[in-house]
């Protein structure tokens, strides 16, 4: 009987499935198009981090490829950033690489479409995975729709990297299952490659997914384990040893293929993390990103706390209403709603014991583990994981696990739908149905009680009533599907799928958390006519010369403005990124964000816009939303000149900004750590004297002036012509990093760290060509080799 078939959670059947894939995949595509149309049409766009951070990343990648430049170093934020090592740069993301090859400067709509197409591919993989198990097509569609448009995939879609990472997970499950069931090396290699793409997202979703995949694979091959059989009734599995022998080759091939792809990028990220402002996150810092237990009620009513509305109206934890949590998460991060039909199915499966059947028990445990992880410091488990599980201390939000909660909940709900529709002899006990109803009622009562406690019942009433109506309709739909299944099986499946899609289109559709009008982000469109950007571009272009490349600063113009410098190729001293070079952050005072005037924090070495470091950076134009004196109290009248006033900004000029390239005749030794701490020590003649950590002895006789000019300037290579009768130092006021190398007349030379932050090289008398090149792969291998030598030396 159908109820006796228990395929493993990973492996597939060797027999043909009962339903054709193509029409089901087409139906999924139609539903995806309908639910995704507001974004695909360009009516709205995915907001917040998707635009403030990831949109410019995709544009920088595409622009670099279109210009024939490598995207390894990004000169347009933080005065220069090692882009290739940034885990959120999208450089190693196939969907965005494909977009970059198609479109040299993608629009908001193009990037949104790339994200949603990737989600569709993940949803299709869910359907294929159900088919490989021999499970019902409607269960696969319910799971796919709930996965693609439920929980964090809908409410946190602005976290582009995490969305893409999770989309890979069902693809890996399909390929791993086929590899292990068929003993296929090719499927094993394919699984390793797709898993590598997931890991190259280098986010917490990828980390947790890898751990869960390891658990699932081990469970699959452990002797006597629940996932070691294809058909427990017939005993067709050849035994655990046979399964192990069958799987070792594909697993090894996949591991090797994946390791080859991820080795260098992950090593780069690890090395940059050590040099960054946040090499790790302590337990308190991570715990502040925990999922508050009260947010579990959002699985019943997604907008009960007002998560889709303005921040001022949000009253859930944490907020101005709900104080004292010490949490630091955005209002949409705790929304768990993945559909009323899927949740009711999940609860029925739980109370009937269905979710503990051998073919899905591992998925149930995975869901429970992710729920505990997401709760963070509200359980004692997270502290142990943070201390002992490698990689956990790199991330600051255990609530990121809500992505995986939505994924496993969707799969399990689809499985219960499969049993409901494919196994007519399976009858949920009356007690299980009562417990399901009581659980839902208790959840709504808890939500109403919380609202009454905080005096927010007026705000919570409408979302609670709407959600109650949706759950009532969902219960009726499930009952109708069950009743129609024997005579009208297609109708029964369509009822569940349509109810799930319609519910998610309404409940998780476009809102303030997931969609804003496209014109709001017009400044990030490639051809933007924004007056501030046009003015800055005109000023910078007019001042560019063989020695001068002016930098700008965008401060206080709004959350999505700082990285607009990438979109429009303006070299910005600030930007938006939670991970930056620590040396630069300490020297300049650059923080994660620069969207409000209060975000501009000055440092000892950069105490004001009237400072030697501002001049060395070549910071000529500052665009501020307020008069600059409101940000920099140390400025005296006339220190900066107001050169333009636009609808968005006051634009000021710093007339003391230095050229990008200088030829210094003299070098002096200076303790850069002392300068960072004390905020002084710069030479009063930067065009003649360069500060080095170890300068050679100086000749007493005067040296004649030299000159330097830029021959070419690209992301990862700068070529300079230097002339000097007595020799000296070419100083490039670009950010120093050990992965940069330098040659003089094509002969390797020593890259010097100059004036705390910048690059320099000694040049002999005469005329020379100096070439600075960013070599991240060679730099990473060199760093690894040095560590290995050091370890062997001990």
pLDDT digits (tens, 9 = 90+) for 551-576: 999 999 999 999 999 999 999 999 99
Report CA torsion sign: 659, 663, 668, 673: positive
**How confident is the model over 361-405, as pLDDT tens digits?**
999 999 999 999 999 999 999 999 999 999 999 898 999 999 999
Residue 325 is predicted with a pLDDT of 96
- Over 50: is that where the pLDDT of 223 sits? no
Q: Tell me the pLDDT tens digit for each residue of 669-712.
A: 999 999 999 999 999 999 999 999 998 877 655 678 899 999 99
Alpha carbons within 13 A on the beta-carbon side of 133:
29
pLDDT-derived band at 292, boundaries 50, 70, 90:
very high
Residue 427, both tokens: 């009858």
- DSSP characters over 326-366: -----TTTT-----HHHHHHHHHHHHHTGGGSTTTHHHHHH
**pLDDT over 70 for what percent of the chain?**
94
CA 367 – CA 143 distance, rounded (Å): 14
Query: What is the tens place of the pLDDT at every residue in 416-461?
Result: 999 999 988 888 999 999 999 999 999 999 999 999 999 999 999 9
The whole model's pTM is what?
0.94
Model pLDDT for residues 238-269, shown as the tens digit of each residue: 566 777 788 899 999 999 999 999 999 999 99
CA distances from 83 to 127, 165, 269 (A): 36, 19, 10
DSSP calls for 556-586? SS-TTSTTHHHHTT--BS----S--BHHHHH
- Greater confidence (328 vs 221) lies with 328
- Cα diameter, the chain: 103
Check residue 240 and give its pLDDT. 66
């Amino acid at each position: 009987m159908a109820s006796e078939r228990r395929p493993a959670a990973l492996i597939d059947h060797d027999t043909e499935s009962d339903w054709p894939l193509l029409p089901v995949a087409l139906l999924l595509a139609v539903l995806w198009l309908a639910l995704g149309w507001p974004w695909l049409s360009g009516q709205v766009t995915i907001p917040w981090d998707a635009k403030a951070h990831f949109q410019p990343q995709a544009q920088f990648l595409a622009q670099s490829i279109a210009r024939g430049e490598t995207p390894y170093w990004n000169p347009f934020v933080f005065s220069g950033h090692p882009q290739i090592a940034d885990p959120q740069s999208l450089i190693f993301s196939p969907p965005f690489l494909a977009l970059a090859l198609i479109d040299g400067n993608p629009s908001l709509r193009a990037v949104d479409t790339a994200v949603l197409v990737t989600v569709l591919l993940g949803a299709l993989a869910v359907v294929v995975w159900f088919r490989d198990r021999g499970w019902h097509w409607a269960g696969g569609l319910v799971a796919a729709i709930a996965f693609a448009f439920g929980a964090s995939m809908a409410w946190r879609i602005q976290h582009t990297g995490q969305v893409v990472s999770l989309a890979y997970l069902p693809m890996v499950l399909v390929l791993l299952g086929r590899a292990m069931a068929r003993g296929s090396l090719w499927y094993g290699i394919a699984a390793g490659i797709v898993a590598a793409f997931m890991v190259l997202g280098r986010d917490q979703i990828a980390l947790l997914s890898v751990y869960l995949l390891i658990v699932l694979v081990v469970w699959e091959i452990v002797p006597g384990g629940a996932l070691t059989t294809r058909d427990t009734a017939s005993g067709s599995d050849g035994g655990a040893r046979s399964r192990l022998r069958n799987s070792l080759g594909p697993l090894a091939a996949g591991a090797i293929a994946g390791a080859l792809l991820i080795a260098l990028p992950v090593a780069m990220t690890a090395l940059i993390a050590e040099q960054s402002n946040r090499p790790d996150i302590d337990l308190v810092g991570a715990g502040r990103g925990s999922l508050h237990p009260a947010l579990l009620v959002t699985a019943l009513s997604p907008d009960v706390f007002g998560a889709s509305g303005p921040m001022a109206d949000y009253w859930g934890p944490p907020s101005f209403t709900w104080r004292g949590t010490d949490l630091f998460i955005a209002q949409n991060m705790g929304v768990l709603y993945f559909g009323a039909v899927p949740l009711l199915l999940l609860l029925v499966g739980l109370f009937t014991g269905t979710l503990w059947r051998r073919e899905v028990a591992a998925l149930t445990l995975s869901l429970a583990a992710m729920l505990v992880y997401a709760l963070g410091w509200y359980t004692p488990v997270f502290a142990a994981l943070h201390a002992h599980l490698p990689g956990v201390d790199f991330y600051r939000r255990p609530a990121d696990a809500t992505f995986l909660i939505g994924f496993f909940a969707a799969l399990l709900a689809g499985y219960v739908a499969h049993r409901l529709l494919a196994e007519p002899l399976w009858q949920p006990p009356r007690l299980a149905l009562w417990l399901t109803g009581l659980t839902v009622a208790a959840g709504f009562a808890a939500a109403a009680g919380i609202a009454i406690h905080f005096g927010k019942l007026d705000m919570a009433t409408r979302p609670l009533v709407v959600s109650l109506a949706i759950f009532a309709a969902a219960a009726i739909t499930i009952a109708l599907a069950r009743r129609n299944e024997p005579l009208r099986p297609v109708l029964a499946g369509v009822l569940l799928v349509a109810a799930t899609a319609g519910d998610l289109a309404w409940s998780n559709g476009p809102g303030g958390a997931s969609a804003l009008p496209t014109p709001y982000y017009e400044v990030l469109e490639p051809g933007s006519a924004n007056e501030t950007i046009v003015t800055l571009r005109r000023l910078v272009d007019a001042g560019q010369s063989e020695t001068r490349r002016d930098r700008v600063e965008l401060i206080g113009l709004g959350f999505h403005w700082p990285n607009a410098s990438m979109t429009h190729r303006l070299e910005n001293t600030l930007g938006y990124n939670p991970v930056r070079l620590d040396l630069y952050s300490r020297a300049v005072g650059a923080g994660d964000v620069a969207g409000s005037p209060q975000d501009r924090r000055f440092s000892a070495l950069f105490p004001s816009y009237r400072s030697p470091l501002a001049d060395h950076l070549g910071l000529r134009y500052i665009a501020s939303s307020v008069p600059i004196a409101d940000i920099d109290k140390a400025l005296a009248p006339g220190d900066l000149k107001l050169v333009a006033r636009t609808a968005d900004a006051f634009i000021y000029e710093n007339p003391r900004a230095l050229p990008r390239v200088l030829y210094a005749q003299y070098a002096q030794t200076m303790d850069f750590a002392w300068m960072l701490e004390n905020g002084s020590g710069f030479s009063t003649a930067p065009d003649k004297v360069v500060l080095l950590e170890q300068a050679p002895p100086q000749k007493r006789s005067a040296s004649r002036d030299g000159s330097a000019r830029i021959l070419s300037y690209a992301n990862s290579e700068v070529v300079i012509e230097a002339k000097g009768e007595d020799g000296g130092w070419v100083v490039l006021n670009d950010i120093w990093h050990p992965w940069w190398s330098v040659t003089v007349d094509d002969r390797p030379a020593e890259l010097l760290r100059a004036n705390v932050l910048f690059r320099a090289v000694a040049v002999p008398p005469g005329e020379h060509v100096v070439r600075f090149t960013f070599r991240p792969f060679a730099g990473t291998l060199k760093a690894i080799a040095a560590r290995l030598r050091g370890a062997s030396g001990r």
